[in-house]
Chains A and B, each alone.
Chain A
Amino acid sequence: MNKRGPYYRYLNRFGWLCVAPAMLLFCLFMLYPILSSLYYVTRKWKGATDSFIGLGNFARMAKDQVFQQAVGHNFIYMAIQIPIMIFLALVLAVILNQGIKHLRGTFRTIFFLPCVTSLVACSVLFKILLQTNGLLNNLLLSARIIGEPISWLGTPFWANVAIILAITWRWTGYNMVFFLVGLQNIDSQIYEAAEVDGASKRLQFFRITMPLLVPVILFSAVTSTSGTMQLFDEPNILTTQGGPANATMTASLYIYRQAFVINSDFGYATAMSYVVVLIAGVFAYIQMRLLGGKREEK
């Protein structure tokens, strides 16, 4: 674009006009919340009135075991659920890409189906399926896999398993599609060259397919991490407000409850959300370090 003359100024003005509506909304619902949070974080609410307490909210957080446990649960889900899901998604993607000759599209559609359910609908369905006298227990009992019904939603351990089951059901197909795209983008000439060199299928998989898929796996691990950090719908509905006894409480849910259910302390809730932003920022930094170079090449 020519940087001088009335025509350039006209185009430049039109450019600003295009982005103006979005910028207005950005200022209202992004910039203003971020700036006003700097005020809220120093306040303490008691009933309808609030007063200044400086960094008091952070001191309170340091002693708040439920909050620390909640953040811990987020990390536990990341450490356990994401690897399981990525493994399953990889297996399905590799099978669909190389293992079968027919019905590939049909299976891809089927595996993607859980993604059309809202997290709320998914939580509701799993909540009913996982009742003590519910379908899954009946199935396991009649298959003699378990001797007595599991209290899925009533015991801390199994409640966490229930959350992991629900998330895995909901998101495996989603990640599988990423991997499938990644697999299809690998140049078939590489395999042909390997074939000529006498490399076995197994060797090809571990020496060609896997290394070339690493960026895609990393990408899906990163997006899953940020999703897990924001886990809210499942613990609020499936395991009923982070229960039993806060065993499935997550950071987002606890912040919400501090602001809207237990107390209406928006100051404390804001302070805790700062910690969540900080964690998300660290993950985003790691993401940029891991993926930054690859993105540029694209």
Chain B
Amino acid sequence: MSGVRRFTFSTLVIWIVLLAGAVICVFPFFWMLVGTTLNPNDVLKGLVRPGDEFSSNWEKAVSNYNLGLFFWNSLKIALLTVVFGVAVNSLAAFGFEKYKSKARDQVFGILLLTLIIPQIALLIPTFRLFVFAQLLNTHLAIILPSVMSVFIIFFMRQNFSMFPTEIMEAARVDGASELATFLRIVSPSMKASFASAAIYIFLAQWNSYLWPLMTVLSEVKKTLPIAMATMTNAYTIEYGALMIIVCISVIPVLILFLTMQRQFVAGLLGSVK
């Protein structure tokens, strides 16, 4: 074919499909932003033209609905889970992969088996455990059960398996301790994998709903998803303020996605390729 582009019927269909898909995917985001500037009635009617109610909606979201506190709660919980989650799971993955023993391989097999258990089945006995420990309605209760993740251990183990063991042996010969090898030699060369794991843990916690719904009992402990859900099911709904909370919950993740797209997708799909 020459450099001239032929315009055919099938290219037209292809572009219509692509553009329609793109509009459907993007529109709710666009509309979410518009919604923050509308009064509650216009949000409900789905007006697409921006209004001028942003400051009063913002005012309501901050003063009536504690937006700042919910954001801080969500951020604190998600970041702490990331810090502990990355440390605990990557160390475990390192142990399973680079210090292979029959016993540890069997333990790893048991871990993998638990992946099939649906969340709800584990959460009810776990809830009883937290009742017993008198830790309900604390952020610790939200963080603790989410730190260990079999999926992240599995993911990190796959990535550690690509790290050449010879380099570790060279470090040993040079007198580095095992922990120093992990921290100074292996980890720095796997920044992308760590980033993917961190993003995955952050997202899972930032967006989690079911477990916080069980454990959060008071207004001041609420996270953004819990706040959104309660507002939506309230008798009278401040739609403008709700749209602001939705934006505050979505936009940080959006920025994370657009700036670290590769690690973001790799983390979600569970493989770095």
Per-residue CB contact flags for chain A residues 90-113 toward chain B (1 = under 8 Å, else 0) read: 011001000110000001011111
Distance in angstroms between the alpha carbons of A26 and B87 in the assembled complex: 15
Which residues 216-260 of B sit at the A interface, judged by CB distance below 8 A? Answer: 225, 228-229, 232-233, 239, 242, 246, 249-250, 253-254, 256-258
A270-B124, A273-B120 given; name 10 further pairs at CB < 8 Å. A12-B99, A15-B96, A18-B99, A19-B104, A32-B125, A110-B22, A120-B229, A124-B232, A226-B118, A277-B117
Give min CB distance, A9 to chain B, whole Å. 11
A–B pairs, 30, beta carbons within 8 Å: A1-B100, A18-B182, A19-B96, A21-B92, A25-B144, A36-B128, A91-B17, A92-B18, A95-B18, A100-B14, A111-B22, A113-B254, A120-B225, A120-B249, A121-B225, A121-B250, A131-B46, A133-B45, A169-B25, A169-B28, A230-B118, A230-B119, A233-B209, A241-B233, A252-B118, A256-B210, A273-B124, A276-B120, A277-B116, A281-B116
B70 interfacial contact with A, CB 8 Å: no
Per-residue CB contact flags for chain B residues 110-125 toward chain A (1 = under 8 Å, else 0) read: 0100101111111111
Chain B interface residues toward A at CB < 8 A = 11, 14-15, 17-18, 21-22, 24-26, 28-29, 31-32, 35, 43-46, 48, 87-89, 91-92, 94-96, 98-101, 104, 107, 111, 114, 116-129, 144-145, 147-148, 150, 153, 178-179, 182, 206-207, 209-210, 213-214, 225, 228-229, 232-233, 239, 242, 246, 249-250, 253-254, 256-258, 261, 265, 268-269, 273
A193 interfacial contact with B, CB 8 Å: no
Give the contacting residue for A120; candidates B29, B98, B111, B228; CB below 8 A: B228
Which residues 155-210 of A sit at the B interface, judged by CB distance below 8 A? Answer: 169, 173-174, 177-178, 181
A86 interfacial contact with B, CB 8 Å: no
Neighbouring A residues of B239 by C-beta, 8 Å? 128
Give the contacting residue for B254; candidates A1, A116, A178; CB below 8 A: A116
Chain B residue with the shortest CB-CB distance to A125: B28
| A29-B148 in contact (CB<8A) | yes
A55 interfacial contact with B, CB 8 Å: no
Chain A residue with the shortest CB-CB distance to B239: A128
Interface of B is mostly: helix
Give min CB distance, B271 to chain A, whole Å. 8
| A259-B124 in contact (CB<8A) | yes
| B207-A277 in contact (CB<8A) | no
Chain A residue with the shortest CB-CB distance to B182: A18
| B250-A118 in contact (CB<8A) | yes
Neighbouring B residues of A34 by C-beta, 8 Å? 114, 117, 122, 125
Distance in angstroms between the alpha carbons of A36 and B129 in the assembled complex: 9
A68 interfacial contact with B, CB 8 Å: no
| A128-B124 in contact (CB<8A) | no
Chain A residue with the shortest CB-CB distance to B113: A284
A249 interfacial contact with B, CB 8 Å: no
